[in-house]
Amino acid sequence: MRRIRDSEGRDWDVGVGRESYGMHVAMFMPAAGGGDVRQSMLAADTWLAAEQYLGEAGDDELRDLLERARPWGDPSGPGF
């Protein structure tokens, strides 16, 4: 799990989640709580690879993922 700060100064906790068909996503949860959970697709074949990516990615890269993320449960799927 990582914590990043977005361009508006809000803190987000970031972890790995799984979508259907084994796709891995970055799950962004507001550190202050609330229901604004967001998800963005990760290019990872395994849970371990997704965890390693989150551990090695820079904050700017994670902020880019957050900007492309869609609300969790969005019927159009996770952001790419």
**What pTM value is reported for the model?**
0.85
State the pLDDT confidence band at 78, using cuts at 50, 70 and 90: low
Per residue in 45-59, pLDDT tens? Answer: 899 999 999 999 999
Radius of gyration for the chain, computed over Cα atoms and rounded to the nearest angstrom: 12
- Beta-sheet strand order (sheet of 70-71): 2-5, 11-18, 24-30, 38-41, 70-71
Task: Measure the CA–CA gap between 28 and 43, rounded to whole angstroms.
Answer: 16
Could you tell me if 23 and 39 are in contact, meaning their C-beta atoms sit under 8 angstroms apart?
no
